[in-house]
Structure 1
Amino acid sequence: MTLPSRVLGRTGAEVSILGYGAMELRGPEYMSGPTLSDEDAGRLLNELLDLGVNLVDTSIDYGHSEELIGRHLGSRRDEYFLASKCGCALSLPPGVLPMPDTHDFSAANVRAGVEQSLTRLRTDRLDLVQVHLSPSRGEMAAAETIETLQSLRDEGKVRFIGMSGTLPHLPEHIEMDVFDEFQIPYSALQPDHDALITRAARAEAGVIIRGGTARGTASAERNFTVEPLSSSGPSAQDRWETARFDELLDGMSRHEFVLRFTISHPDVASTIVGTGNLEHLRDNIAIAARGPLPTDLYAEARSRLGLAPL
């Protein structure tokens, strides 16, 4: 089993088509994360590298995540592309959710956050630092966010600058032409950013997807949930039923269909999927190794969603 890789836009870095979203390492006291022993976290992190995953995405906001990655993968630092985020509060009390009003994109906080991440992750550089929670261009200009990240890049502490972006600000982020990468929520059940993925790629930025499996697709009995973009619009479950995707499964699980739909987009470099369960990790890697959906099946799925042909 070989996990395919793709080039992450103008970074030139080759990343596995399936990345690891390390939010699930946050711990139960942070946003009711899963309970995972230190030993189990180490086993999962080392096995994902052994199985070909070479993209690890984390954040200051994710509780114990950065510290666990540093402890268990610090000695293997050259084997993976490491992405974190900035603008986060340097620490949040357990139970407090990381929301826009807990973020600070000022030069001082961005620099302090990167320095803290370097220490926690036991590394001398972050391959990618992404501005978290999609602030507006005006907010970043007033806070000197981009200039600070560029200075950190010049100092060798950061290699590439990215944006964890969504509507409504994502179009202006692309137009700024300063971001080497965009992390965007997307799946068959949350296709709102489909055209913007292509626009970002045409601007030579790499695209990493989050939410690419739409939580809840593992079994037919469970409802779907995705990261909300707004309070309006159809639910993920409604989208599935309206598109009649069960007719297209042909022996696949819903989970496999949704994950392979996501990696079928030719402008997507990688899809980060988070889990604290080793068996789920192995299943996701096996699915991603099967590659994109067959061309005709993918075209039909896009048509049912009303998406433009690629």
Structure 2
Amino acid sequence: MAIQTRTLGRTGADVTILGYGAMELRGHPRGPEIGDEDAGRLLNAVLDGGINLIDTSPDYGRSEELIGASIGHRRDEYFLASKCGCLLEVPADVPPPYPHDYSPANVRADVEQSLRRLRTDRLDLVQVHLSPSVATLRDNHTVETLRELRDEGKIRFIGMSGILPHLPEQIALDVFDVFQIPYSAVQREHEDLITAAAGTGAGTLIRGGAARGAPAEDKNWTTGPIGLAADEGQRRWQAAGVDDLLARAGMSRMEFVLRFTLSHPGLSSTIVGTANPRHLDANIAVAEKGPLPDDLYEEARQRLRPADA
């Protein structure tokens, strides 16, 4: 069985509905310690498992260097996405989110550094990181700089890693080929905006759709990418009675959460990161099953409907 592919909006690229997020390769102290050989085995397993989209960032520590060293020779096998606006060196004494600089000089320096680290002559997608306002983009001529880099052949498509409150105006700007948006079963605040982005012809990459979406069987809830408190996620899950629904369906929480995300009709791909080979294998096995059955998805959507919907 293979992972389903979908077209990434107007880019025309066919990407697997499960992508790999390389943040977990950033290394100590922000992430798990991982050796070069282990990272290499994991990244090759990503490609061998059928995933053809990899998302990284200059903010993600050593991830770009590990990708370049481990699978740079397999570059034609995957759609490669990185980001811009990040500082060239991550501050050692500052916790994320880090300060960002969307000026032409820094955006260009980000892209040039990523090309070197990733050992490639082009980035398929460069996403503006951390969702700046449209006013900030205009003041810094960020989009114009990205278009220049595109015209030079260094990047192929321009994207935005967007969240509320600025995501609606970013979509309305109608300049981005792809949006990366947080979303999960219990974090549905951006659900309609995913639909809106897809409606403009843009591709959609969903983050937070698995690891931060629901309580895993062996760990507590984690804080979501849009600032959802851990106890709020637990409250939403329990109030919806999802465990009872899953007991009837014979499905684990992990499978349900990932497949719920995959069921959004506006989704192109969801990005899931891990440094654990067993978790990677499990994610691939679930993604191969694809979206939830229609009846289960609709009942889950009703149960998990936000209180203000």
TM-score band by shorter chain is over 0.9
The Cα of 1:228 is off from its aligned counterpart by 4.7
Residue of structure 2 in register with 1:198 after alignment:
195
Residue of structure 1 in register with 2:66 after alignment:
68
Query: SS of the counterpart of 1:235?
Result: helix
The Cα of 1:259 is off from its aligned counterpart by 0.3
Residue of structure 2 in register with 1:285 after alignment:
284
For 1:161 and 1:66, how far apart are their aligned partners in 2? 19
Q: Does 1:141 align with 2:133?
A: no
For 1:210 and 1:193, how far apart are their aligned partners in 2? 11
- After superposition, give the CA deviation of every residue in 1:157-215 in whole Å (9 maximum; x if it has no partner): 01000000000000000000000000001000111000000000000000000000143
Q: TM-score scaled by structure 2?
A: 0.95
For 2:210 and 2:150, how far apart are their aligned partners in 1? 32
For 1:258 and 1:197, how far apart are their aligned partners in 2? 17
Residue of structure 1 in register with 2:152 after alignment:
155
Change (3 A) 1:264 1:297: same
The Cα of 1:266 is off from its aligned counterpart by 1.2
- After superposition, give the CA deviation of every residue in 1:23-77 in whole Å (9 maximum; x if it has no partner): 0000113x2x111111110000011101100000000000000000000111000
- After superposition, give the CA deviation of every residue in 1:256-290 in whole Å (9 maximum; x if it has no partner): 10000000011101111000011110000000001
Residue of structure 2 in register with 1:48 after alignment:
46
Change (3 A) 1:216 1:8: closer
Residue of structure 2 in register with 1:86 after alignment:
84
Query: SS of the counterpart of 1:298?
Result: helix
User: Where in structure 2 are the equivalents of 1:1-310 lying within 5 Å?
Assistant: 1-29=1-29, 31=30, 33-99=31-97, 102-215=99-212, 217=214, 219-220=216-217, 222-230=219-227, 235-249=232-246, 250-306=249-305
Change (3 A) 1:47 1:220: closer
Structure 1: unaligned runs, 5 residues or longer: none
One-letter amino acid of the structure 2 residue matched with residue 75 of structure 1: H
One-letter amino acid of the structure 1 residue matched with residue 276 of structure 2: N
Kindly tell me the number of residue pairs found equivalent between the two proteins: 304
Q: TM-score scaled by structure 1?
A: 0.94
The Cα of 1:98 is off from its aligned counterpart by 3.7
For 1:304 and 1:237, how far apart are their aligned partners in 2? 14
- After superposition, give the CA deviation of every residue in 1:203-251 in whole Å (9 maximum; x if it has no partner): 0000000000143746446332242535789711111011111122122
Contact 2:205–2:271 (8 Å) recurs in 1:
yes
Query: SS of the counterpart of 1:156?
Result: coil
Contact 2:7–2:14 (8 Å) recurs in 1:
yes
For 2:195 and 2:170, how far apart are their aligned partners in 1? 14
Change (3 A) 1:145 1:207: same
The Cα of 1:306 is off from its aligned counterpart by 2.4
For 1:97 and 1:129, how far apart are their aligned partners in 2? 23
Structure 2: unaligned runs, 5 residues or longer: none
- After superposition, give the CA deviation of every residue in 1:123-175 in whole Å (9 maximum; x if it has no partner): 00000000000000000100000000000001000100000000000000000
Cα-Cα RMSD: 1.6
Change (3 A) 1:27 1:214: closer
Contact 1:20–1:274 (8 Å) recurs in 2:
yes
* Runs of 4+ with deviation above 6 angstroms: 231-234
One-letter amino acid of the structure 2 residue matched with residue 297 of structure 1: L
For 1:280 and 1:220, how far apart are their aligned partners in 2? 13
Contact 1:149–1:161 (8 Å) recurs in 2:
yes
One-letter amino acid of the structure 2 residue matched with residue 104 of structure 1: D
For 1:217 and 1:158, how far apart are their aligned partners in 2? 35
